[in-house]
Amino acid sequence: MTECAKETGAILLDGRALATTQFEVLAQQVRARLERGTPCPGLAILEIGEDPAARAYVRAIVRSGERIGLTTRRVRLDAQVAPAALADALDAMAADSSIAGIIVQYPVPAPLMSTVMAHLPPHKDVDGILPLNAGLLLQGDPLALVPATPLGGMALLRHYSIALEGRHAVVVGRSTVVGKPMAQLLLQANATVTVCHTRTRNLPELTRQADILAVAAGRAHLITAEMIKPGAVVIDFGVNFVDGKMEGDVDTAAVAAIAGAITPVPGGTGPMTNVMLMRNVLAAGERLAQS
Ligand code: NAP
C-alpha cells in the first residue's frame, strides 16, 4: 500500500492528494495535445433553471477545467424552456466539434427529462447518464462513458494497491450514478459483489462480511463501527450536511478504529469526482478526433 497519513489505525485514502497529482497528469495531456496541434475540445455544462446547490457544483467543474486548460462552456436555459428548444440546444452541442462532452446539471425539470435523454449524444455523455452507456458498462465495453464518482472510488482503490480479486465487496446504495456503476466496476475487477438498499434485511450482517465496503446512501453516519469487519477498506461516497458540517455516510472517527483503510469526508471520494469527469471529457475528445 502507498505510504500515507494514518488516523486511529486506518490508512486514510487521500482523495485530495490523488486529485492534485491526477489533475497535473491531465493538464500535461492537454498541453501535449495542443502542442501537437491536435484540438482539445471542451465540456459544455447545460443548466436548466436555477438551483443554488447546482451553482456551486458548476463552479467547481469550471475550476477543474481551468486547472487542466480545458474549455468549459455554460449553457443556461430557462426552467420553462420548450422541449423543442431544449432539443435544438442539445442537437447544436452534438454537432459542435469544439465540444467533446456535455454534462446536464441536475435537477432537470421532470417534464424535460425525456428530451434530455433523447437528444444527449451518447458519445458526449461524459456523466454516463444514458442507458446506452450503462449498458456498455454492464457488458464491460471499454467505450462506456462511466459516471465519474464511482470511477473516482475505483481510482483510489487502485492508487492504494488494494486487492479486489476474489474479495467480498459490499455496496450500500443502488442509484444509477453511484451504487450500481460502482458495483459493476467492482465486479469487473473480479470482486464478489453484494448490493444493499433500503429493503435489504439485516444490513449490518452483510456489511460485516465486506472486505471492501462502498457506501452511497446519502444518510449521515449510517455505517457505524459495529458494522465493519476488522481491516476492511471503506469507501464513503456520502455527502451530507449535519449542523452545517459536511459528513459522509460513515461514522468515520469510530469506523477508522476498526477499518484497515478509509476515505475521509471531505477529502476522499469528492475531490476525485471532478478529476474523473475531466478524464471522461479528454477520452471523449480523443474519440471525437479519431471519428
Ligand atoms: P440516491 O439516488 O438517493 O440513492 C441512495 C441509495 O442508497 C438508494 O439506492 C437507497 O436505497 C440507498 N439507501 C438509502 N438509505 C439507506 C439505508 N438506510 N440502508 C440501505 N440503503 C439505503 O443517492 P446517490 O445519488 O447515489 O448519492 C448517494 C450519496 O452520495 C449522497 O450523499 C450524495 O450526495 C453522494 N454523492 C457523492 C458524490 C461524490 O462526488 N462523492 C457524487 C454523487 C453523489 P433504495 O434504492 O432502496 O431507495
Domain ranges in the chain are 37-124, 147-270
Ligand 1 in reach of 69 Cβ (< 6 A):
no
147-270 has which CATH code? 3.40.50.720
Residue 6 has pLDDT above 50, yes or no: no
pLDDT for 234: 98
* Mean pLDDT of the region 51-56: 86
pLDDT band at 8 (very low <50, low <70, confident <90, very high): low
47-56, 68-77, 220-229: lowest mean pLDDT where? 47-56
183 alpha carbon to ligand 1 midpoint, in Å? 13
Q: Residue 39 contacts by C-beta under 8 Å, 6 or more apart in sequence?
A: 33, 97, 98, 285, 289
Residue type at 256? A
Residue 3 has pLDDT above 80, yes or no: no
Cis geometry, peptide bond prior to residue 111 (ω within 30 degrees of 0): no
The whole model's pTM is what?
0.96
Residue 135 has pLDDT above 60, yes or no: yes
Q: Taking a C-beta distance cutoff of 8 angstroms, is the pair 178, 149 a contact? A: yes
Q: What is the pLDDT of residues 160-204, one digit of tens each?
A: 999 999 999 999 999 999 999 999 999 999 999 999 999 999 999
C-alpha 191/C-alpha 4 separation (Å) is 24
Q: Residue 107 contacts by C-beta under 8 Å, 6 or more apart in sequence?
A: 49, 51, 54
Residue 278: which of 55, 62, 9 has the closest Cα? 62
What the block records as the C-alpha cell of 89 is 440546444
Ligand 1 in reach of 270 Cβ (< 6 A):
yes
Q: Do domains 37-124 and 147-270 have the same CATH topology?
A: yes
C-alpha 138/C-alpha 140 separation (Å) is 5
> Ligand 1 atom 37: the closest Cα is on which residue?
237
pLDDT for 4: 44
Q: Taking a C-beta distance cutoff of 8 angstroms, is the pair 126, 43 a contact? A: yes
Ligand 1 in reach of 245 Cβ (< 6 A):
no
What the block records as the C-alpha cell of 79 is 426552467
Partners of residue 43 on adjacent β-strands: 72, 101
CATH architecture, range 37-124: 3-Layer(aba) Sandwich (3.40)
Residue 94 has pLDDT above 50, yes or no: yes
> Ligand 1 atom 19: the closest Cα is on which residue?
198
Q: What is the pLDDT of residues 205-244, one digit of tens each?
A: 999 999 999 999 999 999 999 999 999 999 999 999 999 9
Q: Residue 55 contacts by C-beta under 8 Å, 6 or more apart in sequence?
A: none
